[in-house]
Amino acid sequence: MSRAMTMQTSASVARTGWIAILTFGGGLLVLAVLLFASMTQGVADITVRTVIDALLHPQNTPDHLMVRGIRLPRAVMGLLAGAALAVAGALLQTVTRNPLASASTLGLNAGAHFIIIFALVFMPAVRTEMPLLLAVLGAFGAAAMSYLMAGGKRATPVRMAIAGMIVSLVLAAFTSALQLLFEQQTNQLLSWGAGSLLQNDWSGVNYAWPWVVFGILFATLFSRAFDLLELGDDSARSLGQKVGTARFAGLAASVLLAGVTVSVVGPIGFVGLIAPHLMRLIGMRRHALLIPASALWGAVILTGADTVARLFRSSLGELPVGAVTAVIGAPWLIWLALRSMKGKQGNEAGSSMSIGLIRNNIRYPLLVAGMSILLLALVTSGLMVGTLKLSIAEVWATIVGGGEDFTRNVVMELRLPRVLVAACAGMALAVAGVMMQGAVRNPLADPSVVGVTSGAGAGALALLTLWPHSPGTLLPVAALIGGLLAAACVYAFAWRKGFNPIVLILVGIGVSAVGTAVIQFFVIKSAIMAAPALAWLAGSTYAKGWTELWRLAVPCAILVPLAWRLGRRIDLLAFGDHVSLGLGLRLQRTRLIAAAVGVALAALAAATVGAIGFIGLLAPHAVRLFVGQNQRRSVVLAAIMGAALLVAADLIGKTVIAPKEIPSGIVVALIGTPYLLFLMYRSVARR
């Protein structure tokens, strides 16, 4: 028996040895090939022979100078950035015990991106002198928000992935606001913001490599501590491990590596998700091997993605490498998420809709009346406020057919349709959120999360970039098509799983990543159209007229009552699949219809006012605190609250820094962030 165990151990050691040889030897070979391939790609036609001569026998020729001064630094920067992001992902997955964790899924990249843009606008000297410190602070803050919002140590992989995406959406909205309001200062960083390895000299490499090497070596020193963490906190403590110290070391190293990468090449996602999992799949479990192996294959993945980006040059220019990694990584995220939740189907989703109930003695009719009065007051204020300030008497006289011609034109042709469009769009987004959250039984579901908003944005920007002189009426059509295509992809993937709530959310996150990558590409390539593109992406009710109102109001008049009618059936979904089936509910059909109504409303709103997020998340949450799990009441109250939110955002946006306007979508994000933090607090407190 002892001899058999010895032979088995020897075989295991031999197998591990062969895996290590193939992993490192094969990885180095592939990396060398990709490095040479990447240096042959570009506008100038340079052969492998020229690259070798430039490296071994440099001469003062244009080709050799280009290879050594531009393409080689770019290739080396890709190697460093890929290694840093991969190791950061491996450490985050270990520290959080979450297979979906990485610098992109936990919001580290978005946090670092936002703080650097913020510093560029308000503290340019600090941004120039201390970019790494700024990036590290931003990354750490975003990671902390994602971790706490997901529930801390009790967070499930799916919940943490969704929380990370919501944090990324919030920070992206703030970043878009800065880019739009300070276009001249931030225009130079549009390409960097999509993730770009372009280097004009060796300064970026010289700045980054000491920090990357230090971060990887520092993480390697804690290899044994990280191995023990994977056994669980109690087991690690029983073996003498200081769990808190090990976790802090892993988080510090990952934030440092992500921060230095973003400060040089921008937010590049998914490398930290793919590389560590590849290594774990082939048997690399011990961190002494996992960390260097992840670094090597992270460099391979990012160098390969950069080579692909440079291969697909067109009249629009070169693809951002961040877009390529997103297209590669989104399917990987979906596969990993589904793999990690085997045996947990429906459990999390079934209980996650409970977010608490505020004690109140206000009856439902009074709530409806109060919200309606608030909405009416906001609409009236929207008609009064602007460049020309009007009194209530003047507005009322105009509405009933009197007043001066100029005043009538301002109110009836400019302000009233704009305010009503904002109200209809807010109502559509809020009801869409109610339907999606009810259909997938997850309070974090939202048109932005399931890919509708990013799909609509990709469709609109594709039209603006590829056909800049197209008729204005085609823009909402392109947005509507993009949103519906994104939703169709999500539901097509989720169909085989019976529209399982968790599957739907995770596939939506992956599709959103692809849509965001397409958006980044078109924003960069829109050149002089960048400002209109950013304004549309931020979501705006500016210059909306009666045509846009009827285009949105008529479908809403059909879909919102349908959403209310479906309320009783969606209420049954909250009891779980088995109970719902026992009560005779057709699960897949009900989810499909509810989700389809939500998608249609969200796509219509996006096609009219642009990519406005958060209303579909905030309004249903706020309503549910008062009325609980009552779908019909939630639809009515959320519709009124969503309309009030967007009308208020429109009012604030056109008055705060008049005569300039802040897009309504950005104002909604500013209003919604404190509420998201409140939800985070309640989530942690209830756990």
Residues 236-248: pLDDT tens digits? Answer: 778 777 878 888 8
Q: pLDDT class for 16, splitting at 50, 70, 90? A: low
Task: Write down the pLDDT at residue 307.
Answer: 87
Distance CA 291, CA 39 (A): 27
Query: Are 646 and 612 within 8 A, CB to CB?
Result: yes
Reference 386, options 656, 633, 173; nearest CA is 656
Amino acid type, 473 = T
Task: Write down the pLDDT at residue 603.
Answer: 85
Q: Return the DSSP state at 187.
A: G
Distance CA 302, CA 196 (A): 11
Q: Identify the sign of the CA torsion 372, 671, 166, 476.
A: positive
Q: pLDDT class for 611, splitting at 50, 70, 90? A: confident
pLDDT digits (tens, 9 = 90+) for 304-359: 998 888 776 654 556 778 878 888 888 877 777 666 555 444 444 444 444 455 55
Give Cα 466 to chain centroid, integer Å. 25
Distance CA 325, CA 306 (A): 9
* pLDDT of 430 strictly over 90: yes
Task: Write down the pLDDT at residue 14.
Answer: 55
Share of residues in the chain with pLDDT > 90 (%)? 18
Task: Write down the pLDDT at residue 528.
Answer: 46
Query: Are 380 and 396 within 8 A, CB to CB?
Result: no
Reference 669, options 190, 266, 262, 168; nearest CA is 168
pLDDT digits (tens, 9 = 90+) for 633-685: 999 999 999 999 999 999 998 888 777 778 888 888 878 777 766 665 565 55
Buried b (16+ CB within 10 A) or exposed e, 320-347: bbbbbbbbbbbbbbbebbbebbeeebbe
Distance CA 511, CA 175 (A): 21
* pLDDT of 362 strictly over 80: no
Q: Measure Cα distances from 242 to 153, 246, 249, 658 in Å.
A: 16, 6, 11, 56
Reference 280, options 408, 11, 94, 136; nearest CA is 94
Nearest 5 degrees, angle CA 271-CA 273-CA 276? Answer: 95
Contacts of residue 302, defined as CB under 8 A and 6 or more positions apart, other chains included, come to: 78, 79, 81, 82, 85, 197, 268, 271, 321, 325
Query: Are 170 and 141 within 8 A, CB to CB?
Result: no
Phi/psi at 317 (5° precision)? 110, -160
The dihedral formed by the CA atoms of 272, 273, 274 and 278, expressed in degrees to the nearest 10: 100
Structural tokens at position 42: 């570009």
pTM of full prediction above 0.85: no
Nearest 5 degrees, angle CA 532-CA 533-CA 539? Answer: 90
Distance CA 154, CA 687 (A): 8
Distance CA 176, CA 163 (A): 20
Query: What residues are paired with 317 via a beta bridge?
Result: 314
Q: Is 107 left (phi over 0), alpha (psi -120 to 50) or beta?
A: left
pLDDT digits (tens, 9 = 90+) for 159-195: 777 778 778 878 887 887 787 777 777 776 767 777 7
Higher pLDDT, 658 or 28: 28
Distance CA 40, CA 563 (A): 56
Task: Write down the pLDDT at residue 345.
Answer: 47
Higher pLDDT, 613 or 33: 33
Q: Return the DSSP state at 317.
A: B
Amino acid type, 49 = R
Task: Write down the pLDDT at residue 657.
Answer: 77
Q: Which CATH superfamily is 366-659 part of?
A: ABC transporter involved in vitamin B12 uptake, BtuC (1.10.3470.10)
Residue with tokens 């990468």: 261
Least confident of 25-34, 56-65, 396-405, 428-437: 396-405
What CATH number was assigned to the domain covering residues 19-340? Answer: 1.10.3470.10
Distance CA 603, CA 608 (A): 9
Give the residue extent of every domain in the chain. 19-340, 366-659
